[in-house]
Chains A and B, each alone.
Chain A
């Protein structure tokens, strides 16, 4: 129901931002995410930023995946 993709804010002009994902750029409204700032990764849905992506949480999720793979480096991360 709701396609949203992670994109990085590379420019802000009041309530409008330019976001970038893998070399593609688009305008995005920040009306729904007024405290977003430059460099943030946000979820973009239908031309609106709807949520900030928490990079620390993303890394934690990836660490959990690796833990399941049983990679040795997990203990060091802890």
Chain B
């Protein structure tokens, strides 16, 4: 039974025969230079993992966008979570990716060395469970991520309130994609022709969310899945739009994305969070691009419950993550890449997360 079993809806979309035809089509249909930004970090990872960058025609340039939550989280937010983790009687809970992120003074791994209790969880429900099992501790969850993840955090907050888990708190640094894309698109220095839009974010928010970007800035958008065949087809659809002079929102990932997105998730998000301005590493502060915990759930807001001082925060020196996230530079342009900054000793967050642009370059292409 070694590999007789197939992974449904994965294997069919990554096999050689499927992708070969798509690659041929992409080569045949692509004669003009096209710069495509993959907005989402999971796309970045898939592109690296399958060697897609090396396989596509030369005219096609793939640029990694701001879609890795670790990379766009500002140092001040990371520092605040580390301060929370260092408080006595706090159990800090986080998704695995954040553990190695360096803050201004230290990262979570070092905070652990200093006695902080930091626990990696796979789901917000696991964090909630830890809170139930440790009623005499405060359990703080680091709420990072985009619209895909935010509803799962909202669900945990709602359950915490409904079932009276008063020792469960969230530091919300959640971000939403459309305002960031809007800010990117309006920047005069942006050198991108088309967007490969994130399939899983769109499963929540619906493809309509990109309509303003496509119409106002004339940038084609294709909502795309994460298997190689999906990505190749998404690129074909983008280059067709370009060739035909269209700039529309199209959906390649039809099996996972519906018009209007996921209404239950959207309603839950709206109930628990409210829009706020948010600082994105590299993009600066973007109005309305963050999710703060609403008044109704203020009792579970970690930073309201435990105010911490992070006035010492600053961004790492020499790191050009900012320019990389906006598609203006690649990791190879960074003087620290592969030298002072490597996955074992990351300087900037783009090297920390395995889907960070620098890590992806280092790991799969160096």
Direct A–B contact present (CB less than 8 angstroms): yes
The interface residues of chain A lying within 8 Å CB-to-CB of B151 are 32, 48, 50
Cross-chain contact of A54 among B146, B149, B254 (Cβ < 8 A)? B254
For A41-75 the 0/1 string (1 means CB < 8 A from B) is 10101111011011101101110111011100000
Shortest Cβ distance from A20 into B: residue = B8
A4 within 8 A of B: yes
**Nearest CB of B to A16, in Å:** 9
How far is it, in angstroms, between the C-alpha of A42 and the C-alpha of B20 when the chains are bound? 27
Within 8 A of A (CB), among B14-60: 17-18, 20-22, 24-25, 40-42
* Cα–Cα distance between A23 and B7 once the two chains are bound (Å): 9
Question: Binding site of A, secondary structure by majority: helix, strand, loop or mixed?
Answer: mixed
Inter-chain CA distance A45–B151, complex, in Å, is: 10
Partner of B8, one of A6, A31, A47: A6
- List, sorted by A's number, 13 A–B pairs whose CB atoms are closer than 8 Å: A1-B42, A1-B149, A29-B152, A31-B264, A32-B262, A41-B9, A46-B122, A48-B152, A48-B155, A51-B256, A55-B255, A58-B9, A61-B254
Q: Is the CB of A1 within 8 A of B201?
A: yes
Tell whether, in the assembled complex, residue B198 and residue A1 are in contact, meaning their CB atoms are under 8 Å apart: yes
Q: Which residues of B contact A50 (CB under 8 A)?
A: 148, 151-152, 200, 203-204, 262, 265
Q: How far is the CB of B81 from chain A (nearest CB, A)?
A: 18
Bound complex: CA of A41 vs CA of B9, how far in Å? 9
What is the bound-complex CA distance between A1 and B69, given in angstroms? 6
Q: A50-B200, A65-B233 are in contact. Are A1 and B152 (CB under 8 A)?
A: no
Task: State which of A1, A60, A66 has its C-beta within 8 Å of the C-beta of B67.
Answer: A1
Q: Quote the shortest CB–CB distance from B8 to chain A (angstroms).
A: 6
Say yes or no for A10: interface residue by CB 8 A criterion: no
Taking the nearest CB of chain B, how far is it from the CB of A19, in angstroms?
12
A2 pairs with B148, CB closer than 8 A:
yes
Query: Considering only CB atoms, which chain B residue lies closest to A4 in the complex?
Result: B200
Contact, CB under 8 Å: B9 / A53: yes
A46 to B9, CA, bound (A): 18
* Other contacts beyond A22-B6, A47-B123, A68-B22: 8, CB < 8 A: A2-B149, A21-B8, A31-B264, A45-B148, A46-B122, A50-B151, A51-B256, A58-B9
B10 near A: Cβ within 8 Å? yes
Contact (Cβ within 8 A) A46 B124: yes
B68 on the A face (CB < 8 A): yes
Contact across chains for B148 and A32 when beta carbons are under 8 A apart: no
Closest-CB distance, B148 to chain A (whole angstroms): 4
Instruction: Tell me, yes or no, whether B257 is within 8 Å of chain A by CB.
Output: yes
B203 contact set on A, CB distance < 8 A: 4, 43, 50-51
What A residues does B265 contact at CB under 8 A?
32-33, 50
For residue B12, CB closer than 8 A to chain A, the reply is: yes
Instruction: Given A1-B42, A1-B148, A51-B203, check contact A46 B255 (CB 8 Å).
Output: no
**Contact pattern, B 148-184, Cβ under 8 Å of A = 1, otherwise 0:** 1101100100010000000000000000000000000
Q: Which residues of A contact B7 (CB under 8 A)?
A: 6, 21-22
Q: Are B233 and A32 touching (Cβ within 8 A)? A: no
Tell yes or no: B137 within 8 A of A by CB. Answer: no
B250 at the interface (CB under 8 A from A): no
- Contact between chains at B264 and A47 (CB < 8 Å): no
Task: State in angstroms the CA–CA spacing of A24 and B68 once bound together.
Answer: 27
Say whether B297 faces chain A, with CB atoms less than 8 Å apart.
Answer: no
Contact partner of B22 (CB less than 8 A), chosen from A47, A60, A65, is: A65
* Cβ A2 vs Cβ B264 within 8 A: no
Q: Mark B61-86, 1 if CB is under 8 A from A, else 0.
A: 00000011100000000000000000
Instruction: Tell me if A5 counts as interface (CB < 8 A to partner B).
Output: yes
**How many angstroms from the CA of A43 to the CA of B258 in the assembled complex?**
13
Assembled-state Cα–Cα distance A64/B264 (Å): 31
In this assembly, does B268 line the interface, its C-beta being within 8 Å of a C-beta of chain A?
A: yes
Q: Specify which chain B residues have a CB less than 8 angstroms from the CB of A3 in the assembled complex.
A: 42, 200
B255 to chain A, nearest CB (A): 4
Given contacts A47-B123, A47-B125, A48-B123, contact A62 B18 (CB under 8 A): yes
Find residues 71-104 in chain B having any chain A CB closer than 8 Å to their own CB.
95
Contact (Cβ within 8 A) A2 B254: no
Q: A32 is contacted by which of B25, B152, B254 (Cβ under 8 Å)?
A: B152
